Every structure is written in structure tokens, then in C-alpha cells.
Amino acid sequence: MPVINFEDPQYLLKGTAKQVLAHKTLAELRIFDLLNEYDPVLAGTIPIGIDIEGSDLDILCCFSSAIKFEIDLKLFFAKQEKFRVRKLWMDGIETVIASFKTNHFPVEIFGQETPVVQQAGYLHLINEYGLLIKYGEDFRRKIIDLKLAGWKTEPAFAKLLGLSGDPYQAMLKIAHPL
């Protein structure tokens, strides 16, 4: 696997059929253009090729104003199927999440005041990608098999790596090999 700059979605065009379709969907919705001021980055399973049927497009964003971010999400995406937006606190951090459906993918746009490259979703992406590079195709297949059996991504990694405790926290502590 090549090293990928996840902050530039052009890498998707050289990827799997699902990654190319993800790029097309993001472009059609103009998500990266509309959310440009929020430093959007596609995270989750699709960028690293461990997606399964029903995997969503997870877009991470950084805002300076939760209110403005929520208003923009409604302005840009409220007409999308099953659109909803909610505010909550995650680990003491104000978070705004919008979700909706497209023809090909569920979409979740996740925003915090934390810079994207410091958010848990981004750190999981980088660490998981590094582990996939380190352990290779057989490891990737095992992750996908666990996901197909109903496991969430971070618990699947933690199981294969023999990590104990909260798998989401454990995956943040992995020193990735990139």
C-alpha cells in the first residue's frame, strides 16, 4: 500500500471502485468545496479499503463556531434524504454531527473545534492505515471478515492485535509505523 495524503481526496480516484464512487459522490454533492473553510477530511473505512456493504462516508471537520457550522450544514445539506443534525459533547468536546443518505452511501459529517488532524477519527484512520501496511493483505482480510461478522472497526483491530480495555482508546495509543 502506498502512503496516502488523506487531506487531499484525489487519492480516491486511483483506488478501488468504491473509493472512486466515493470521490464521485463527494464531488457531486460539492462536500469538500462547500465545507472548505472547515478543513474536511474523509475518514473511516472507505479510504483504507476495509469497507463493507453499507459503510458510510465519514467527513471530519474543524469549526471555530458550532452555531455557524450547524447553520452551514443545514444550508448546504438539509434537502438531502433523511438529513438530520445533532449537537452533543464527546469526551468533553462540543461536537456537531450531520447525517443523510445519498444514492450510494450514508454520509456523516462530524465537526469539532479540535483540528481535524488531532481528532480521534483522523488518528484512528492514520493508525489503522499504518497497521494495514505493516501487517499486509491477510490482516486486512481478517479485519474485513470480522466486520462482516458484525464487529465495529476499532474492536476488530483490537481483537486481532490482542489489545485490552476500550478498543477506541487503545487504537489511539498505537504508534503507527508511517
CA–CA gap between residue 141 and residue 159 (Å, rounded): 14
Residue ranges of domains in the chain: 9-115, 123-172
Model confidence over 145-163: pLDDT tens digits? Answer: 999 999 999 999 999 999 9
Residue 142 has pLDDT above 80, yes or no: yes
Residue 30 has a pLDDT of 96
The predicted structure's pLDDT at residue 176: 55
Express each pLDDT in 84-125 by its tens digit: 999 999 989 999 999 999 999 999 999 999 999 999 999 999
Per-residue pLDDT tens over the stretch 42-74 = 999 999 999 999 999 999 999 999 999 999 999
Of residues 177 and 51, more confidently modeled: 51
- At residue 174, the pLDDT reads 79
Measured in whole angstroms, the distance separating CA 116 from the mean position of its chain's CA atoms is 11
Grid cell in block for residue 3: 502512503
Q: What is the CATH number of domain 9-115?
A: 3.30.460.10
Specify which residues 109 forms β-bridges with. 59, 98
Contact between 176 and 129 under an 8 Å Cβ cutoff? The reply is yes
2 — pLDDT class (breaks 50, 70, 90): low
Confidence of residue 172 (pLDDT cuts 50, 70, 90): confident
Which phi-psi region, left, alpha or beta, contains residue 16 (left: φ > 0; alpha: ψ -120 to 50)?
beta
